[in-house]
Chains A and B, each alone.
Chain A
């Protein structure tokens, strides 16, 4: 894999960290003699998203996927690290600049029932970014653009006069996509865009998202817990575990040859629709409480390959044949001998 030149990279995430303060109020802490409690949702995560690709983040609940999405679109402030969009740090930009940058990326949320204002007509919902970024000269041209957008996502231009409740879940998600497209963005963050939808509707939305990517040259950050959806969509995939990136690899190769033991475990856990009867390792344990994460490599209590070093030091991302992986077992070549006994975890 050749290192991408700077011009290929659209979004660069460097050492991104976000800590949430879960402490009780000051007075309670003093009276009950409790220390401050913090949760590190995202811990020193670095990756880059190249122009025109679909970069997917996968992980189980609590792995920090959605927090990273919010940090990237600047809905949350990072506790450390930075996000560079086309080389510029949005948090350091002047307000006029930030506004200009802001129009270049959009977000699609998980729940189309919560992300559309029920009191607004669909036409107004889609026109809001057009108005906010002054992309249309007058009302008539804005309305015309809304009609075009609705047709682009497979709805009718006349649907602009309807309210969100008149649409099904899949149609609402189409409206959300039309809204995201209305600002003519280059980059769209999709946070679990299909997990609230039925499979046949999911297929429609995934196909639509691919068509739009080809048509408008979009770059996606695609966040999902569903590995088969990710495999279908992604060019490259980052696997998160308890706020840390454990592996970043080329999409298809990751599924053939997962490097990190956690990635293998996740893949093994996916129900097998083809019923090939493949051998699989038994999944052990659950994600630990992120308030009190394990020392060293955070996966070591569940890892069949863990040794003393894994319990003390935390591994860094190291190059592998198909990308990067943060695992001492991979680094030291211990990965080749799969340890079948399920040691350790409860």
Chain B
């Protein structure tokens, strides 16, 4: 494994001009994903996690745009490619799995037709070879009797099976990076566990990197190697999943972890973070979390903390800065 990360996001800023002024949905986000690694991106609604994913594959709807920063895939910039160049990267090098499997499949084409089309767009295969490739993919994602079912239409599959088809589509051209945006949110827990298994197994077998976007800390804990916690368009904390889940350093991550009821231990009351995430129109100056933070002091209200690296993790909090200073 080389030292260059497969995906490198540097100070990414995504902005939307509106009548009320420019809104910054993603504000200076940086992270790396290595080959074969699963990076979880977690946060509450409006934290900018999906927007970060969309920015990486160039799917931001105008008038939104990447205002500054870089996205490097395998050392090469992909944030400034033309539409046609980007189309070749999307699907071929970067696969995408969306939340709702019904809307990501075309209802008018059979599963086989959609897979064959995707395969042939990216790989130099004949119709027949592409069909065999598609069948192998469906087998791999665990669709029972794939040979018989591949000529069915999406509506003939259940939710979990449809999501498997979507994963097969994302993997069709053997991408190096898969971005999965809430892949299990629309599914029941028992099906969710199966889909997580498929995603994990396929990526480790193929050595693909995965960016897993979800609001569910449990899914991250099961799946990811490292996790980035986002708040108000910024990365609050990033590090190995075990460290972040069990010894969170950022007050927001600590609150987030405490607010999740768990199966393992009893607590009469859940930790609650007062208030809610600020709207994009009124993000406070300094640290975006300061009005809700129990430890906030003057500096937090004035200066914005940048991520402070200690070992494998980085925490954007002035408290962590003090710790390092001492």
List residues of A whose CB falls within 8 A of some B CB.
60-61, 168, 170-171, 198-204, 206-207, 210, 225, 227-229, 231-232, 252, 255, 265-276, 282-283, 286-287, 346
Contacts and interface: CB of A to CB of B under 8 A. Distances in A.
Given A271-B219, A273-B260, 18 more contacts: A170-B276, A200-B259, A203-B273, A207-B272, A225-B188, A225-B189, A228-B260, A229-B261, A231-B261, A265-B190, A266-B189, A271-B196, A272-B221, A273-B217, A274-B264, A275-B241, A283-B191, A286-B190
Interface in B217-263: 217-219, 221-222, 241-242, 245-246, 255-256, 258-263
Interface string B158-178: 101100000000000000000
B218 A207 contact: no
Contacts of B99: none
Nearest to A198: B44
Most buried by B among A60, A200, A201, A276: A200
B15 interface: no
B92 interface: no
Contacts of A283: 190-191, 193-194
21 contacts: A168-B276, A200-B276, A203-B259, A203-B271, A203-B272, A203-B273, A225-B189, A228-B218, A228-B260, A228-B262, A232-B267, A252-B266, A269-B189, A270-B218, A271-B218, A273-B245, A273-B262, A273-B264, A283-B190, A286-B161, A346-B144
Contacts of B190: 60, 265-266, 269, 283, 286
B273 A200 contact: yes
Contacts of A346: 144-145
Given A168-B276, A270-B218, A206 B261 contact: yes
Interface in B189-220: 189-194, 196-197, 215-219
A66 to B, nearest CB: 14
B81 interface: no
A232 B270 contact: yes
Contacts of A60: 188-190
Contacts of A252: 266
Interface string B30-49: 00000000000000110000
B295 interface: no
A199 B259 contact: yes
A241 to B, nearest CB: 11
Nearest to B44: A198
Contacts of B256: 199-200
B269 interface: yes
Contact of A273 (B160, B191, B215, B218): B218
A322 to B, nearest CB: 16
Nearest to B188: A60
Contacts of A276: 264
B263 A227 contact: yes
B270 A206 contact: yes
Contacts of B246: 274-275
Contacts of B263: 227-228, 231, 255, 267, 270, 272
A286 B261 contact: no
A203 B161 CA distance: 32
A232 to B, nearest CB: 4
Contact of A202 (B158, B218, B259): B259
Nearest to B42: A199
Nearest to A201: B276
A280 to B, nearest CB: 8
Contacts of A210: 269
A203 B260 CA distance: 7
Given A228-B263, A275-B242, A203 B192 contact: no
B148 to A, nearest CB: 12
Contacts of B266: 252
A225 B185 CA distance: 12
Nearest to B192: A269
A272 B264 CA distance: 9
B270 A227 contact: no
Most buried by A among B158, B242, B276: B276
A290 B263 CA distance: 29
Nearest to B267: A232
Contacts of A267: 263
B36 to A, nearest CB: 20
Nearest to B261: A232
A271 B222 contact: yes
A149 B171 CA distance: 53
A170 B275 CA distance: 9
Contacts of B45: 198
A199 B269 contact: no
Q: Which 4 A-B pairs have the closest CB atoms?
A: A271-B218, A203-B259, A232-B261, A198-B44
Contacts of B267: 232
Nearest to B194: A283
Contacts of A272: 218, 221-222, 263
A199 B215 contact: yes
Contacts of A282: 197
Contacts of A228: 218, 260-263
Contacts of A168: 276
